[in-house]
Structure 1
Amino acid sequence: MQGISICGSVASPHGANCRRACVARNSLRLPYEINNAVTHGAYSCHWHMHKLHKNTNGRRMNATVRTNARWLFGGEGRSSDARLERSESANEDILIFYFQMDLQTRIQYALNIEQFDVAKQLREKLTEIETEIIRQREARRGSSKTEAQDKSLDLLRVRADLQKAIDSENYALAAGLRDEIAKLEAESLAVSAKALAYQNVKYAFRLGQKVRHKVHGYRGVICGMDPVCCESKSWMETANVEKLSKGPNQPFYQVLVDVYVDPELLVAYVAEENLSAAEESEKGRFDHPYIEFLFYGEDTAGDFIPIKQLREKYDQPRYEASGDENDNDGDTSS
């Protein structure tokens, strides 16, 4: 995200030896360490990701989770086609979401201990972050009604200029304006189609659902979705999006990849046509450092239950797996 550096702490499993970790984006820094009373002890570790200590086939895997996009995506390792779909912007989006929740928790804690000046400062930082997130989301997604209307107004203006050029017999200018009109008409059509996709989108998969990649075969978990591909042109070229049968104009999903399958892929951005729902036999153990702050746990079907804030982010309803109707996921609203 342009213009923001957000700093927090990464804690050990026992709450000691906290270290600073940042997602650095250009020049604006928004540190939110406030003082020892707030940032140390059990509170500072409440929302923080811990070291993973997992056993697989009798072997222990020790991995330190660092909230640093460069570490996550800049390391050396064997290349694979699957890694063409890894997305630094999707990873940063998840981390920014984590820091938002962390700031909200810090604000509440500051209020609880009556540090009102601190709470005010944190609110201001949170407002800055949320404003920038909205701005970047609009820049990535675009295709709003306002953008479509702006294109229509531009067309009217250029057509009026074309008529004036014809009336004054300035045919060279008229030829240039005709080319500009053709370009604007193509852009207007694309904007309108994308805006329509946002209004009428129907997702085949839901937040927390375990899926399998049809091409690369790895298991993943849905943690975000867009009605169309919202990545950069360079990313789409690298990921060969144009070779997809539906191209970029289909839902794309942020997918957490099991760290035991590929610890360097971590977060992929995958087209809907390349995903299928995981079979019951495939819904076994799934390990990823982001699971603990994005989901409450697993439902009776073996999928993950997204936290309320994640559902609100993507405007998704609460899903009840068969047999979970009486379970409480920490949210009483739908």
Structure 2
Amino acid sequence: MVQGLSLSTLATSGKSGVYGSIASWRKHYKLMKKTPITSGTDRHYIWPQYMQSLFLTGNPNILSHRNLRVDAGWLFKGGGQGLDASSERSESANEDILIFFFQLDLATRVQYALNLEQYETAQQLRNKLTEVKAEVMRQQEAKRGSSSKSKVQDKAISIIRLRADLQHAIESENYALAADLRDEISKLESESLAASVNALAYENVQYSFRLGQKVRHKIFGYCAVICGMDPMCCESSSWMEIAQVEKLSRGSNQPFYQVLVDVHADPNLLVAYVPEENLLAPDQPDMGRFDHPYISFLFYGVDGAGDFIPIKQLREKYNRPRHEVPFDSEDEKPGGDA
């Protein structure tokens, strides 16, 4: 969690310091893309500090205080496809993870304030946490269509009303109005059908991979860990064009995964958004080293297959069951004597 910030500082930062920062995330996040980072140590230090600066003070200029340098370029090339690994890099997935981090940190600070019997501070923190949760919910509904059912119901009611208006217009021989109403009804029916399909997809999707599972990219070959999932591609049309989603055999209507890319493979890629058809699970348990600055707050250990165990809040975010492969013996656990 974020270190070095007093409760009083957090509690007295204005509403725009939290809510406004989330709303304007994409503007501030562009600075992070340009920040030179050359080592795992730098990245482990800078990301929590950047989160503190951005969300709690609205000032991402903390990065200017670090003398860091970057060597641009991508290590993975897509053979013959005109793609490299950067084509699947996702800023929206990265901001989604960092906002999740911020929620966890706020919740921890609420409990810390309660432990110290600082009840006024705890209430201020709760208020900020409520703001963040409301904004996150709004963004998730817009991105993932989780409000599709209510949209279908709202549109159905609107269609009923418009049909009544249409009947009245016809009886009144107001044919110009009737034509406009028919067009509006047709538009709403199409939107209602799309919302119904979207809602059905979210309810019935089957994922081939689990949260925390180690995977390998079929094309670019890097090792990654699943940290999020959508039943279909939820990225922008411009992102899908760059990633050439239309050339995928299963297109955009397949599960897409937020994955953390091993920093030893490429410290710049960080988070990618990958279609299910481009991922492979290892045939054997992978107990090899995997490093990423987000591992420590999304997962709390590894299981007997070498996969990471997601924290409860992450499982709840994606409504996924707990899955943990047990170790065969105590000696096989990481850090054992064997």
If the length of structure 1 is used for normalisation, what is the TM-score? 0.73
Give the counterpart of 1:302 among 302, 306, 310: 306
Name the counterpart of 2:43.
64
1:129 deviates by 1.0
| Structure 2 Cα separation of the partners of residues 61 and 196 of structure 1 | 42
Q: 8 Å contact 2:212–2:225 — kept in the other structure?
A: yes
Q: 167-176 or 141-150: which moved more?
A: 167-176
2:80 aligned with 1:77: no
**Residue 101 of structure 1 pairs with residue 96 of structure 2:** no
Q: 2:286, 2:305 within 8 Å by CA — same for their partners in 1?
A: no
Match of 1:29 in 2: 17
Aligned residues: 279
Q: Which has the higher contact order (CA 8 A, sep 6+)?
A: 2
Kept in 2, the 8 Å contact 1:299–1:324? The answer is no
Q: 1:130 aligned to 2:133?
A: yes
What is the letter of the counterpart of residue 128 of structure 1?
E
The answer as to whether partners of 1:296 and 1:305 remain within 8 angstroms in 2 is yes
RMSD: 3.2
Structure 2 CA distance for aligned equivalents of residues 181 and 122 of structure 1: 46
Q: Name whichever structure is richer in strand by fraction.
A: 1
Q: Distance in 1 between matches of 2:137 and 2:317?
A: 11
Contact persistence 1:208–1:221 (CA under 8 A): yes
Q: Which amino acid aligns with 2:185?
A: I
Matched, 1:231 2:235: yes
Indicate whether 1:174 and 2:178 are aligned.
Answer: yes
Write the mapping of 1:275-314 to structure 2, written as runs, cut at 5 A. 275-280=279-284, 284-314=288-318
Instruction: Give the direction of change, closer, same or farther, for the CA distance of 1:132–1:76 in structure 2 (3 Å limit).
Output: farther
What is the alpha-carbon distance in structure 1 between the residues aligned to residue 253 and residue 96 of structure 2? 21
Task: Return closer, same or farther for 1:123/1:176 CA change in 2, 3 Å cut-off.
Answer: same
**Post-superposition, which runs of at least 4 consecutive aligned residues in structure 1 deviate over 4 A?**
8-11, 68-71
Assess if the C-alpha contact under 8 Å between 1:194 and 1:249 holds in 2: no
Identical positions, percent: 63
Query: 1:115: which partner in 2?
Result: 118
Q: Does 1:247 align with 2:251?
A: yes
SS in 1 for 2:309: strand
Conserved? CA contact 1:194–1:228, under 8 Å: no
Residues 93-136 of structure 1 deviation map (CA, whole Å, 9 limit, x = unaligned): 11111111111221222222222221121111111111111121
The residue number in structure 2 matching 1:258 is: 262
**Residue type at the aligned position of 1:63:** D
Does residue 193 of structure 1 match 2:197?
Answer: yes
Distance 1:152 1:240, change over 3 A: farther
Indicate conservation of the 8 Å contact 1:90/1:268, yes or no.
yes
1:149 paired to 2:153: yes
CA–CA distance in structure 2, aligned partners of residues 205 and 130 of structure 1: 27
- The letter for the 2-side match of 1:77 is A
Q: Give the Cα separation in 1 of the matches to 2:102 and 2:287.
A: 29
Alpha-carbon distance in 2 for matches of 1:173, 1:111: 61
Q: Is the 1:224–1:254 contact (alpha carbons within 8 Å) kept by the matching residues of 2?
A: yes
Structure 2 vs 1, CA of residues 169 and 246 (structure 1 numbering), >3 Å: closer, same or farther?
A: farther
In structure 1, distance between residues paired with 2:329 and 2:123: 40
Measured in 1, the distance between the counterparts of 2:195 and 2:275 equals 20
Distance (Å, rounded) in 1 between the aligned partners of 2:160 and 2:100 = 41
Measured in 2, the distance between the counterparts of 1:309 and 1:166 equals 55
Give unmatched runs, 5+ long, in structure 2.
7-14, 20-37, 52-59, 64-69, 75-82, 334-338
> Does the 8 A contact of 2:212 with 2:310 survive in 1?
yes
Whole-angstrom distance in 1 between the partners of 2:71 and 2:323: 39
The C-alpha deviation readout for 1:279-326, integer Å capped at 9, x for no partner, is 327652111111111111211111111112211221211112143799
CA distance in 2, matches of 1:84, 1:149: 38
Q: Specify the SS of the correspondent of 1:89.
A: helix
Using the size of structure 2 for normalisation, the TM-score is 0.72
- Deviations, residues 65-111 of structure 1 (Å, cap 9, x unaligned): 3335988xxx8833653212211111111111111111122122222
Please list the CA deviations of residues 170-208 of structure 1 after superposition, one character each: whole Å capped at 9, or x if unmatched: 444433333333322222111101101111122111110
Give the whole-Å Cα distance in 1 for the aligned partners of 2:224 and 2:17.
Answer: 33
Q: Per-residue deviation at 1:238?
A: 2.9
